[in-house]
Structure 1
Amino acid sequence: MGRLASSRASVIVVGFNDEIRQLLDHPPLTTETAIRNKLKVLLIAGKLNFGLGALISAGIYDADGKKILLEKDASCTYPDAVDTFMKTRDHLMPGSYKKAYAFHRIDKKPHILLAYPLTNSRNEQVAVINGIFALSSAAIDEVKGRIVRTAVEAIGIVALITLTLYPIIMTLIGQLSKLAADLLKSNIEILQVLGSAIAKRDSDTDIHNYRVTICSVSLAEALGLDRSLIRGLIKGAFLHDVGKIGISDRILLKP
């Protein structure tokens, strides 16, 4: 909205600059009255040609930021608020010779502050014109409508992406859970195989491995050990005789 207002204002200011170009040749601006009249016409043009609201105040400032002329729209319903704003902020950008715009609230209403350079007949940038543009109710409603539409579109996109990705994510989570279960099963089978191999070295059964494991877990629970430690204890207790695998029968089976 600010860019659109700035673009339309730029066209009006160019025409205004063409009309006062020769009047800006003299720094003291002895033709102040003529420029003031042109400034009043600019306010009327800003009201008729923008289509977004109305230009309620326009001022001309020199390169040092000193106010040269200031005109207000007589039909403005909150002139005191505009006066207060102009006193606290003489113009938008002191010494700036670049086009610019900024949003501000005056009397709790959104306004666009506009700044444009002015050149004399020698094409020298000698002044800056600043304007306060009040957005119309229709323009404000349009901005609010765009915000609401953008928010709704964003929510719709997020919802669509969620609905699209949810089945994929759930499938991947299911596959991951299955892989984790398969890995756990494999680890348990490895423990069982090792336990059986240990038992076969000096016994016909591996009940001893299970008995030691059950006693170890019972003691750990009685001591209140952390569950993660108990899980490690189960593996260690079940495989506590794993060293027997590396001992020769001559020693292990000796009476």
Structure 2
Amino acid sequence: MADSPSKPYRRVLLKLSGEAFADEAASISPQVVASVADQLVEVNSLGVEIGVVVGGGNIFRGASPQASGMERSSADHMGMLATVINALALQDACEKRGLDTRVQSAVAMQELAEPYIRRRAVRHLEKKRLVIFASGLGAPYFSTDTAAAQRALEIGAQAILKGTKVDGVYDADPALHPDATKYDRLDYIQVLKDGLKVMDATAISLCMDNGLPIIVFNLRTEGNIRRAVTGEPIGTIVE
């Protein structure tokens, strides 16, 4: 059954995994980053205030085989630095298109980014600047999914947009199971109970406790960020 259109959003938080920056040829693809930047410029022109939380898994992920044998805190801090690289790449692409952008880092690195200050972030958004949040929460053992939920709540976002390589949430990996069923709508409890790969359990719990919807959609389809923020039925909504 098709969903009816949801309401348009005034302020949103876009979650981009590190893999969203990559293609088959490069860990940071200029073409992919340019496509994302074009979509963000389009959304900004509509007057929508948008923050972005970036992951770093295309470069380094603390909880992964590439960190095997490392102390977890050290590995997670390396992952935080990877998110800054992605944030700067996205900032460069957006500013080349005339979109005023700020990178805020949860780990102090004043030569590269502002420190994360909630009130300053909100003020940037009110001035229609794109705010890119890097370094997760600045603490090990917390994923950038959890950082996305936390930042979304702190800035008063009305929804989290989760950009992926597939067009929603399925009951199995559609790349491996052609008969996998796509969900148009899910509730938080079903995501947790069935272990569906939307966001990690901490992030889902934060969203559930605060009534923050999550829209999962294919980032690679041009115009999908605009469709999500304007309320078109797209992907899978978790609420």
**Shorter chain as normaliser: what TM range?**
under 0.3
Could you state the TM-score of these two structures normalised by the residue count of structure 1?
0.25
Could you state the TM-score of these two structures normalised by the residue count of structure 2?
0.26
Which structure: larger Rg?
1
Q: Which structure is higher in RCO with an 8 Å CA cutoff and minimum separation 6?
A: 2
More helix by share: 1
